[in-house]
Amino acid sequence: MTNVFDKSFGRQAFGLDPANYHAARPPYPDIVWTTLRERAVMRAGIDILEIGAGTGLATQHLLAAGPRRLVAVEPDVRLAEFLGEFLPDIEVIGLPFEDAVLPRAGFDLTVSATAFHWLDALPSLRRIHELLRPGGSVALFWNTFGDVGRSDAFHEATKHLFVGHQVSPSGGGTMDLPYGLDVTARLNDLSTTGFAPDEPVIFPWTLTLGPIDVRRLYATYSNITILPVDERERVLDGLADVAEREFGGTVSRNATTSIYTASRA
């Protein structure tokens, strides 16, 4: 993948409009929560740390599991403020994970939902290992859009709008293997840092959108928010126009959810 913007941009990429982010991003499929429950990594009475919690799309499900304590780390203060208002019963730390002061061996489960690609994997996983109690677990999962394994007519019809643009470290929508779908690399990262990974779950699904939905969803993407305002609006208008004119107002986008769980060896 070429022309990838710096990971540090992830600390400010998504807070332009927290309410739109929360409404436009699709929920995680039920298979995420079923997998975490079946593997007993998400259960009542435990202490959970979430890294890159955003507006709480995953956090609300973690809280519903009945943890004793839930700490959410979110580097964008705008998102952190939204999250604190949305879920006032959790502890929100508005700092990057690298800077957050957290208790060693203080958690039973650490989660990162479509956020871990913004971190340096090996040092972050080593720190997570230290923050987990013996027998604790880590769960990393992603909703990835525009994967290359299936044809995606809307992606092909709109590629011209992104020519010359920088791309996200997530790799979604590029010709490279997206970060969350690079199974070999993700399992190697976990094994290298002292975790015993489980068999990953890869779940393909389809997201159906209208022109307004397309505009709102793409407005939350980091490769859009990094653009100057005029260019950002041009791309968003172009996406909505293609959805209306070429797809009759109904767009189907490929999506794949990948789930990686591992125990602290």
Q: Which CATH number goes with the domain that contains 126?
A: 3.40.50.150
Predicted confidence (pLDDT) per residue in 91-150, tens digit: 999 999 999 999 999 999 999 999 999 999 999 999 999 999 999 999 999 999 877 778
The phi-psi region of residue 3 (left if phi > 0; otherwise alpha if psi is between -120 and 50; otherwise beta) is left
Is residue 228 assigned to a domain? yes
Strand partners, 239: none
Map tokens 């979604």 to a residue: 172
Interatomic CA distance for residues 63 and 263, integer angstroms: 21
Is residue 257 assigned to a domain? yes
Is residue 203 assigned to a domain? yes
Q: How high is the pLDDT of residue 177?
A: 87
Interatomic CA distance for residues 203 and 28, integer angstroms: 11
Q: Which of 81, 84, 74, 70 is nearest to 51 (CA)?
A: 74
Is residue 226 assigned to a domain? yes
- pTM of the predicted structure, to 2 decimals: 0.95
Q: Are strands 195-197 and 107-113 parallel, antiparallel or unpaired?
A: unpaired
Domain that holds residue 80: 7-264
Is residue 240 assigned to a domain? yes
pLDDT (mean) for 205-231: 96
Instruction: Please give the tally of structural domains in the chain.
Output: 1
Q: How high is the pLDDT of residue 1?
A: 45
The phi-psi region of residue 63 (left if phi > 0; otherwise alpha if psi is between -120 and 50; otherwise beta) is alpha
Is residue 1 assigned to a domain? no
Interatomic CA distance for residues 83 and 91, integer angstroms: 10
Predicted confidence (pLDDT) per residue in 144-198, tens digit: 987 777 889 999 999 999 998 888 999 866 547 899 999 999 999 999 999 999 9
Is residue 2 assigned to a domain? no
**Torsions phi, psi for 147 (to 5 deg):** -65, 150
Is residue 244 assigned to a domain? yes
